[in-house]
Amino acid sequence: MKSTLNYYLQIADNALILSHRLAENTSKGPFLEEDLATANVALDLIGLAESMYHEAAKMEGYGQTGDDLAYRREETDFVNCLLAEQPNRDFAHIVTRQFLMDTFNYHYFMALTESRDPFLSAIAFKSIKEVTYHLRRSSEWMIRLGTGTDESRHRVQLAINTLWKFTDELFEESDADMAMLANGFGVHLNDIKVQWNQKVNEILFLSHLESPKNQFSVRGGKQGIHTEHLGHILAEMQFLPGKYPDAVW
Amino acid sequence: MKTADNQGELWEVFIQSKPGQAFKHVGSIHAFDKDNAIENARDIYTRRNEGTGLWVVPSAEIIAVALNESDYFFEPATDKIYRHPTFYNLPKGLTHM
């Protein structure tokens, strides 16, 4: 039960934190259409997070709600991967982070449709439609930036180089991953890694970008050990429920 | 970072609300290329289930009648009543004419 709960939280936390990062950019997009499109992706992700938290809260059985899990857990309780929490340094970083996450989510949810857990399989079927579109958008932006001007190419290469060290963690098996794989509910992260590498290399090639070599990797998010950025996100995101615990609309 | 005023080209957006129906013009968007245009159109105009079909056309490719041409384009039709088939007696059972 504990590993099922943690498995659900991994999916929910990834979606919530990435969604929050995208939402931070609302009203700051490079132009109106892109601003709306980014917010749109954030809304898809918050929908996913909401379903997962809701289901996870029922599992815990202490009368908690999904909101409690999102707004009343501490930094070390969050099990999202570090890539999702990396900041919006510039548009190239936003696009690159999204592309790397979308590629992971696409193959991950594709595999999860086969899960023996009916809830996970249903969520995966629903998500795959959204993620297919997200991946199409972010792949095209990678190519557009990579083959655009000198400056756009330089910035997107810099973003790839900066974010690459967080990608290994996506495929690192946590205790929850291993337990869920063993009972037929989870997915083979090694297989996802092969598919992820193939897609990412294809898009980097089309974008005229270089894939970083011999980089060290940073991990820990899935164990609750985060980069300095998550604390800031949570401070902002959890401020209202922290200050006014029973506030309602 | 400089605030660029380059938002891409202007494109016109057409939506088909149900299969088989005509596409209707709904507005315009900015985009940098065809893929970008159809995606921006999707994100701005079809998020609430508005359509089953979507077209985008570069605004510059649309040939339109200029305002000062409308006199000789459209007005000659207004007084030619004989161009409408209104003088025929239709059989009773014919309702869609």
DSSP output for A66-115: HHHHHHS--GGG----HHHH----SHHHHHHHHHHHHHHHHHHHHHHTT-
Among all chains, which residue has been given the structure tokens 């050990």?
A: A225
Fold of A2-243: Ferritin (1.20.1260)
Tell me the pLDDT tens digit for each residue of A64-82: 899 999 999 999 999 999 9
Task: Tell me what pLDDT residue B3 has.
Answer: 42
Decide if B32 touches A, using CB distance below 8 A.
yes
Q: For position B41, which CATH number holds?
A: 3.10.20.520
Task: Tell me what pLDDT residue B90 has.
Answer: 79
Cβ atoms of A115 and A187 closer than 8 Å: yes
Least confident of A177-186, B42-51, B71-80: B71-80
Nearest partner of A34 among A104, A85, A98, judged by Cα:
A98
Task: Tell me what pLDDT residue B4 has.
Answer: 53
Task: Tell me what pLDDT residue A247 has.
Answer: 82
Task: Tell me what pLDDT residue B97 has.
Answer: 62
Question: Is pLDDT of B96 > 80?
Answer: no
Identify whether B80 is part of a domain.
Answer: no
Tell me the pLDDT tens digit for each residue of A3-60: 999 999 999 999 999 999 999 999 999 999 999 999 999 999 999 999 999 999 998 7
Give percent of chain A with pLDDT exceeding 70. Answer: 100
Could you tell me the two tokens for B17? 């609300």
- Residue-range domain boundaries for chain A: 2-243
> Largest alpha-carbon pair distance within chain B?
72
Nearest partner of B40 among A212, A219, A37, A201, judged by Cα:
A37
Nearest to B44 among A33, A90, A137 (CB): A33
Task: Tell me what pLDDT residue B5 has.
Answer: 63
Identify whether B16 is part of a domain.
Answer: yes
Identify whether B71 is part of a domain.
Answer: no
Tell me the pLDDT tens digit for each residue of A80-95: 999 999 999 999 999 9
Nearest CA in chain B to A33: B40
User: Which candidate in B32, B45, B48 is best for mutational testing of the A interface (most A CBs within 10 A)?
Assistant: B32
Task: Tell me what pLDDT residue B82 has.
Answer: 75
Local structure of B56: helix, strand or coil: strand
Query: Measured in whole angstroms, how far is the alpha carbon of residue A206 from the centre of its chain?
Result: 24
Question: Is pLDDT of A221 > 90?
Answer: yes
ipTM, interface predicted TM-score of the complex = 0.78
* Separation CA A39–CA A19 (nearest Å): 8
Decide if B1 touches A, using CB distance below 8 A.
yes
Tell me the pLDDT tens digit for each residue of A99-129: 999 999 999 999 999 999 999 999 999 999 9
Decide if A136 touches B, using CB distance below 8 A.
yes
Question: Considering the entire predicted model, what is its pTM?
Answer: 0.88
Question: Is pLDDT of A204 > 50?
Answer: yes
The total of structural domains in chain B comes to 1
Nearest CA in chain A to B30: A33
* Separation CA A235–CA A218 (nearest Å): 23
Give percent of chain A with pLDDT exceeding 90. Answer: 90
Task: Tell me what pLDDT residue A101 has.
Answer: 98
Tell me the pLDDT tens digit for each residue of B53-64: 999 999 999 999
Could you tell me the two tokens for A10? 């991994």
Q: What's the mean pLDDT when you consider all of chain A?
A: 95
Task: Tell me what pLDDT residue A73 has.
Answer: 93
Give me the domain span that covers residue B57.
Answer: 9-64
Task: Tell me what pLDDT residue A186 has.
Answer: 95
CB contact under 8 A, B40 and A90: no
Identify whether B27 is part of a domain.
Answer: yes
Mean pLDDT of A147-173: 96
Question: Is pLDDT of B79 > 90?
Answer: no
Identify whether B53 is part of a domain.
Answer: yes
Give B-chain residues touching A40 at CB under 8 angstroms.
43, 47
Identify whether B70 is part of a domain.
Answer: no
